[in-house]
Amino acid sequence: MSSVAAHHLSARPAVACRATLSRRTAGDRAPVRTRVRSPAVAAADTENLPANLKKIVSAFQMVPDAMQRYKQLLFFAAKLKGFDEADRVDDNKVPGCVSQVWVVPRIEDGLVYFTADSDSQLTKGLAALLVEGLSGSTPKEIMAVEPNFVELLGLGQSLTPSRTNGFMNMLRLMQKKTLEAYMADEAAAKE
């Protein structure tokens, strides 16, 4: 079994949120508190991200205003390149998304490159963010991305729970398709 496949199979289930909640005893009426991340913790969380995704996270973190981060997403949507109509098939469609989203990987010289499209500008921006952030990475780097990095983007105020769920589904499908493309590429190389 390849190291990428072994990593994928041994990886613990993804956890969408790492916020630590501290509760007091039932008799204590103090509210539940969420731990605030320090800049050092946020920097540590980006350590295992592919270089392009790390740059994107850093760019989003430098923007203090939620509306400006939302505009950044729309900018990403405008940068998304054309998508082949022949790739708009169910196998490439992201499940569980309110909007229609398709993603397709290709492997060149051991690196993965994605194309994607959506029928919604905001969702297209989210897809473009992942396309730009993950393209040019190795399969192993892509498989190692944990979905909690979305917290670091600071988009919580701009995204509805269903959009956040769709974003997570995009990442999961991109990882699944990366693994499939890698395995097919490995099998073809052995022939």
What pLDDT does residue 41 have? Answer: 40
pLDDT score for 189: 86
Strands (E), 29-174: 33-34, 101-108, 111-118
pLDDT in tens, 29-45: 333 333 334 444 444 46
Contacts of 113 (CB under 8 A, 6+ apart): 105, 106, 107, 135, 136
User: What is this structure's pTM?
Assistant: 0.76
| Total domains present in the chain | 1
Write the single-letter amino acid at 160: T
Q: Which segments of 47-115 does DSSP mark as H helices, in order?
A: 51-61, 66-79
- For 92-102, write each residue's pLDDT tens digit: 999 988 899 99
**How confident is the model over 154-166, as pLDDT tens digits?**
887 778 888 888 9
Active site residues: 97
Question: Can you tell me the mean pLDDT for 101-127?
Answer: 95
Q: Mean pLDDT throughout 99-121?
A: 95
Q: Is the pLDDT of residue 183 over 50?
A: yes
The boundaries of the domain holding residue 8 are 3-190
**pLDDT for residue 135:** 97
Read off the CATH number of the domain in which 69 is found.
Answer: 3.90.1010.10
